[in-house]
Amino acid sequence: MKSIPKLVLVLAIGTIALFLLYRALGDTRVLLVTPDQFTFYSNDDRLDGGVSQSEMHTHNQALDLQCQLKLENYPWPYCGISIHTDTVTKTQGLDLSNYHTVRLRLRYDAPESSEPRLRFYLRNFNLVYSTAEQEYSYKYNGVEFSVVQGAQTIEIPLANLQVMSWWLSDNKIPIVESGPEFTNIVRIDLATGSGARLGHHHLQVESIEFEGAYLAKETLLTTLLFSWVLLGLAFSLNELRKSKRAFREVRARQLHLKKLNADLRAQNYEFAELAHRDALTGAMNRHAVRDWLNQTARQVRWGQESLSLLYLDLDKFKHINDRYGHQMGDDILREFVMVVASLLEGDERLVRWGGEEFVVFCPGIHLHQASEKAERLRRHIAQHIWLHGGLLTCSIGVAEMGAERITEVLARADEALYQAKHRGRNRVEVNYGNTAASA
């Protein structure tokens, strides 16, 4: 909460600074395209094998283009004005992406009984598809529009410009690069329209200017308003979220404990010998399996039985006790026993061996089956949502009893568990021991 006054102060200073900056710079900017800034050329279809002729003169920043369209050799005669924004490298043009309108002040006189039209192109250079040596590789962002005879002002929204389909086809441009681009305009072309009537055309261009907004006032005010509203909303939602989360955690803990206690009571009813159960978790204790282990060990040595061990240990369990308290730790141990017991089969026995260490004795299965069971246990435990609302993992050591004592196979399983801990936890390690030797 201490950061709230600082944040409010920063936003207040930022608001004032934005208003002062807006008043100083204004909300619009204009780029004039003039002969003293850029290089102007006349062009016509002679570049394509035609015979049309054009001649251009400048006077007080204005352009005067005289053009005679003729049809011979080239089927689409044209003439016009070409403005090169970079005549040195031909690759570093104008970034017009922040402009929204181009304004043309011109006078156009075309042959009588014609419907005059002009074409306007912004040619973009992009290294993905353009090369400096091939001007035809510059993208044609253009529009063709009708004009009237005589003087006029034409305003063209740049959003209306489209990439010419014939250019896309000729240059085999992929879809991802087929949209209009105005980030690196190296040429600006103004030419007679398609299907222009043959004869004398006279085009006078008084000015070409691009208009864009640094920042619209509505955008500025809306942004500031939303900033303040979002600030207030964020703090309100944060407080509400904290309250709801605390309530959900308490409620979830109550329900989970209620279910856990009910499940534990149901399991405890099934225990025939309470003295053989761990008082905290309900799992078997060492005394409960002592006689059974001795008998099974003899059968293993005689070759009449097989026995595999899974040595389980919860990872970083001390962190649970330190953070949530020993009561939560005890509850999680009980839950751990329930989770593991739910995956046991037949005569398999779960024994609390000490602390957060447990041993699962699996009679009748060999080492590879035991390792598969251990992996299933590990995955299930890692995916389970525990009482404290988070995740826990365990490490498991696996061994199969051979011609040895119970203490020896337990020591090998414990060694495998140590390897699992040492190699990063949340994993199963197998000690092949006597099994590998006998193989």
Q: Where are the domains of the chain?
A: 29-213, 271-438
Please report the pLDDT score of residue 38 as a whole number: 92
Look up residue 370 and give its amino acid.
Answer: A
Report residue 195 as tokens: 């299907």
Please report the pLDDT score of residue 272 as a whole number: 47
Class of domain 29-213: mainly beta
Higher pLDDT, 11 or 382: 382
Integer Cα distance of 293 and 203 in angstroms: 106
Mean pLDDT of 174-197: 94
pTM (2 d.p.)? 0.49
386 pLDDT above the threshold of 50: yes
Mean pLDDT of 375-399: 92
127 pLDDT above the threshold of 50: yes
Please report the pLDDT score of residue 5 as a whole number: 65
* 48-69 per-position pLDDT tens digit: 899 999 999 988 888 999 999 9
Integer Cα distance of 313 and 321 in angstroms: 15
269 pLDDT above the threshold of 80: no
Return the minimum-mean-pLDDT range out of 78-87, 110-119, 303-312, 373-382. Answer: 110-119
Query: Helices (H), strands (E): how many in the chain?
Result: 9, 17
Mean pLDDT of 10-38: 78
Report residue 155 as tokens: 């305003």
Give kind and range of the element (H or E) at residue 412.
helix 406-422
Q: Residue 222 pairs with which residues in a beta bridge?
A: none
134-148, 218-232, 245-259, range with greatest mean pLDDT: 134-148
433 three-class SS: helix
Report residue 158 as tokens: 């740049």
Return the minimum-mean-pLDDT range out of 53-62, 356-365, 430-439. Answer: 430-439
Q: Are 104 and 120 in contact, with CB atoms under 8 Å apart? A: yes
CA-to-CA separations, 129 to 171, 178, 361, in angstroms, rounded: 8, 10, 69
Please report the pLDDT score of residue 394 as a whole number: 95
Report residue 30 as tokens: 């204009």
Return the minimum-mean-pLDDT range out of 22-26, 28-32, 84-88, 411-415. Answer: 22-26
Q: Are 210 and 96 in contact, with CB atoms under 8 Å apart? A: yes
197 three-class SS: coil
Percent of the chain with pLDDT over 90: 58
Please report the pLDDT score of residue 438 as a whole number: 44
Please report the pLDDT score of residue 216 as a whole number: 62
Mean residue pLDDT of the chain comes to 88
CA-to-CA separations, 415 to 257, 300, 308, in angstroms, rounded: 35, 21, 15
72-76, 226-230, 249-253, 418-422, range with greatest mean pLDDT: 418-422
Mean pLDDT of 235-255: 85
* 322-340 per-position pLDDT tens digit: 999 999 999 999 999 999 9
Please report the pLDDT score of residue 251 as a whole number: 87
* 283-309 per-position pLDDT tens digit: 999 888 899 999 999 999 898 999 999
Higher pLDDT, 271 or 235: 235
Confidence of residue 238 (pLDDT cuts 50, 70, 90): confident
Confidence of residue 437 (pLDDT cuts 50, 70, 90): very low
Domain 271-438 grouped into CATH 3.30.465.10: no
